[in-house]
Structure 1
Amino acid sequence: MLFDLPDHDTLYRALLARDDRYDGHAFVCVSSTGVFCRLTCPARKPKRENCTFHDTVGACIEAGFRPCKRCHPLQPMASGDPAIAAMLAALDERPAFRWSETDVVRMGFDPSTIRRSFKRQFGMTFLEMARQRRLRDGFETMSSGGKVIEAQIDAQFDSASAFSAAFARLLGRAPGRLDRAPLLFADWVSTPLGDMISVTSQTELHLLEFTDRKALKTELGKLDAQCKGRLGIGQTAPGQQLKAELAAFFAGTSAVFATPLAYHGAPFAQLVWDELRRIPPGVTRSYSQIAAQIGRPEATRAVGRANGANQIALVVPCHRVIGADGALTGYGGGLWRKQKLLEIERQYLPAPQERAQP
């Protein structure tokens, strides 16, 4: 698992030294390029703050990074399974192709076998890998001010309709229907636990959710209605501040989030969200404890609903709330992410001697 790896500084030194002892056991994701590499990669070394480390290529792909074309981090998996090698080669040859299980059959493979093999090796299916590789590129082009046609080309979609459909599944509307002078800006955020979408104004963060959260499209729709359709794609100062704070959080250097927030919820929910932000990193609270803390001990269920309605993940740390029996309970981003976030935050707990001081 990611958190069994050595600390960030040790891995970064290994990257600089091209230490082959970590080959196949650790990979570096570089936020400035969007690629992931072996630690022995001969490419120019990235800055420390642009690096995150994972123990599997699947975790790198799930976080939205593409394999490096110099060190070929997928090769060991491909060489160990001819079917995987054939499918990866086909994907490299036709990255713009809209793959389906019918195409897998045409190549002479059983779709269920390919699905299991990719899931086992990479943590995602072949079809998920193909879609992930294309959509992020297009989104980032538009976020940087590029035109829709440029984004379509960068995402290597054959047709405008296919590109529009992929965007609509994610954001709830096609790229051509996004406002060109928006009040709210959607942006792509890569993290070690998967890709996220942020929505910011020029002054505040309004939403931060994982792209696979089922409620994302509904939440985006509500924000779009509130800004009277003026939702677009782009980068803002709060959005860039958020990315820097998330990078520090996952690198283990800071758990402080100072990006200004804009809440969208009833006063009671906002009261709960404020209380969530007072929970220290590495500490958990139950729903009943939150209810008592805000002076509403009878409102445990209402606290649970407010917790589930939070649409600013990580920054408003609803993952720090667990059941009274210690169970993780529900989490919109998936219980596996909740577990990993709590594991990450253990490093932010004070040392035992510090906790013992009055």
Structure 2
Amino acid sequence: MTMQLSLLPNKETMYQALVSKDSTFEGVFFAAIKTTGIFCRPTCHARKPKAENVEYFGNSKEALDHGYRPCKVCHPMEMKGTVPIWLKPLLEEIEARPSIKINDQSLRDKGLDPARVRRWFKKNHGMTFQAYLRALRINNAFGQIRQGDQVIQSAYSNGFESLSGFLESFKNSTGFSPKESKYKNIISVTRIPTLLGPMIAGATAHGICLLEFTDRRMIETQVERLRKYLKAELIPGQSPFFEKLSEELHLYFEGKLQKFTVPLEIPGTDFQQKVWQVLQDIPYGYTRSYKEQAIAINNLKAIRAVATANGDNRISILIPCHRVIGSDGSMTGYGGGVWRKQWLLNLEQKTAG
């Protein structure tokens, strides 16, 4: 689907975002500089042009079609959060063998610079490459123990050289001992690139329990609440739900999917459950006010509480809190940023029906 100019914010807003390098506009627009013939991300650190020398496009294809070249500073052809080509073979190897151990020399043998790999994981996962591998092995071991494997068997099959080292790493990562695994939970987490920036996804054995933009305000608070509700720790890992979620998100952003089918796990109070359910009942391409949402749960006096519950939603897009707006049609607050909200609504209204 080719995004039309009408899906974009006004030019004054986009220029201000370009000048201030506002990361919340990543994926919303690309800025093409008439005097240089290049196009950039909103966050590009190259020297900023005069407003009259900039035109805006909704995607890189439109910019290329108009004769602009991608900037060599900000690399606008790479979707924010996308795994770089040089790293893909390594991640595919890890995905195929989550218990694998790879040291710096192994990376060099693969033609990779350990420092470069370390920087990418630190920037994109908040941990070093070795910490990421260790977390994957712990996650894998947790699943094996839950399925009946012995602790010692799981330790050695996941590359740990000693049982004591495994026990210490396991407890440091999860907060509980391996023997307690049958009575505890882990939330597997991964990152999913989208047109509007990377999202963090979390899954339990029952379904997706977390989907948020990584720069969402108060995301730490949301994660902590989820951790307490499910009595679980978040650890990088794989889930059978992630592939389906990625596929459905891709189709959604292409304007080709209106209803998600990936299973969800949505812990919360009874009131929050009601609010989140009626959010899922708002048709694709439509919006409701907070007052209409309160009426939908048969509690007209709960308008403010409904707004709070909307803000507590931890599964963006799939539970479409972006479809709730002010009674006057205004774009009210949205954890992922108001312009993301506007973009999502514009997409749905353009492709509905």
TM-score by length of 2: 0.58
Letter in 1 for 2:278: E
**CA distance, structure 2, for counterparts of residue 193 and residue 214 of structure 1:** 15
State the shift of 1:293 in Å: 1.1
**CA distance, structure 2, for counterparts of residue 150 and residue 226 of structure 1:** 37
State the shift of 1:155 in Å: 8.7
State the shift of 1:269 in Å: 1.0
**CA distance, structure 1, for counterparts of residue 26 and residue 196 of structure 2:** 7
Aligned match for 1:218, one of 218, 221, 227: 221
Letter in 1 for 2:123: A
**Could you tell me whether the CA contact under 8 Å between 1:281 and 1:349 is conserved in 2?**
yes
Match of 1:260 in 2: 263
**Alpha-carbon spacing, 1:287–1:212, altered in 2? closer, same or farther (3 Å):** same
Match of 1:269 in 2: 272
Query: Per the alignment, in what secondary structure is the counterpart of residue 190 of structure 2?
Result: strand
State the shift of 1:274 in Å: 0.3
Query: Per the alignment, in what secondary structure is the counterpart of residue 274 of structure 1?
Result: helix
State the shift of 1:245 in Å: 1.6
Q: Which structure has the bigger radius of gyration?
A: 2
Q: Deviations over 1:145-188 (max 9, x none)?
A: 555857995996617875664356489xx536634335322122
State the shift of 1:240 in Å: 1.6
**Correspondences of 1:51-62 after superposition (within 5 Å):** 62=26
Match of 2:340 in 1: 337
Match of 2:288 in 1: 285
Q: For structure 1, which segment, 279-288 or 195-204, has the greater mean C-alpha deviation from structure 2 after superposition?
A: 195-204
Match of 2:36 in 1: 80
Match of 1:317 in 2: 320
**Could you tell me whether the CA contact under 8 Å between 1:167 and 1:175 is conserved in 2?**
no
Letter in 1 for 2:207: E
Letter in 1 for 2:132: P
Aligned match for 1:114, one of 46, 53, 60: 46
Alignment of 1:180 onto 2:139: yes
State the shift of 1:210 in Å: 1.1
**CA distance, structure 2, for counterparts of residue 284 and residue 121 of structure 1:** 30
Letter in 2 for 1:252: G
Query: Per the alignment, in what secondary structure is the counterpart of residue 243 of structure 2?
Result: helix
Letter in 2 for 1:349: A
Query: Per the alignment, in what secondary structure is the counterpart of residue 201 of structure 2?
Result: strand
Match of 1:44 in 2: none
Match of 2:4 in 1: 4
Letter in 1 for 2:292: Q
**CA distance, structure 2, for counterparts of residue 329 and residue 176 of structure 1:** 41
**Alpha-carbon spacing, 1:155–1:243, altered in 2? closer, same or farther (3 Å):** farther
Letter in 2 for 1:175: Y
Alignment of 1:193 onto 2:152: no
**Alpha-carbon spacing, 1:287–1:145, altered in 2? closer, same or farther (3 Å):** farther
How many residue pairs get matched?
258
Please provide the CA RMSD for this pair: 4.7
TM-score by length of 1: 0.57
User: Percentage identity across aligned positions?
Assistant: 31
Letter in 1 for 2:270: P
Which fold has the larger relative contact order, with Cα–Cα distance below 8 Å and residues 6 or more apart in sequence?
2
Letter in 1 for 2:3: F
State the shift of 1:278 in Å: 0.4
Query: Per the alignment, in what secondary structure is the counterpart of residue 298 of structure 1?
Result: helix
**Correspondences of 1:162-177 after superposition (within 5 Å):** 162=119, 165-166=122-123, 169=126, 175=132
State the shift of 1:301 in Å: 0.5
Match of 1:158 in 2: 115
**Alpha-carbon spacing, 1:325–1:300, altered in 2? closer, same or farther (3 Å):** same
Structure 1, gaps ≥5 residues long: 6-58, 64-75, 86-111, 351-358
**Could you tell me whether the CA contact under 8 Å between 2:285 and 2:351 is conserved in 1?**
yes
Q: Deviations over 1:6-37 (max 9, x none)?
A: xxxxxxxxxxxxxxxxxxxxxxxxxxxxxxxx
Query: Per the alignment, in what secondary structure is the counterpart of residue 301 of structure 2?
Result: coil
State the shift of 1:313 in Å: 0.4
**Correspondences of 1:202-217 after superposition (within 5 Å):** 202-217=205-220
**Could you tell me whether the CA contact under 8 Å between 1:185 and 1:236 is conserved in 2?**
yes
Letter in 2 for 1:3: M
**Alpha-carbon spacing, 1:160–1:307, altered in 2? closer, same or farther (3 Å):** same
Alignment of 1:298 onto 2:230: no
Q: Deviations over 1:126-151 (max 9, x none)?
A: 5898x997884579925565558579
**CA distance, structure 1, for counterparts of residue 112 and residue 48 of structure 2:** 26
Letter in 2 for 1:216: I
**CA distance, structure 2, for counterparts of residue 169 and residue 333 of structure 1:** 19
**Could you tell me whether the CA contact under 8 Å between 2:81 and 2:193 is conserved in 1?**
no
Q: Deviations over 1:288-323 (max 9, x none)?
A: 110011011001010000001111000000000001
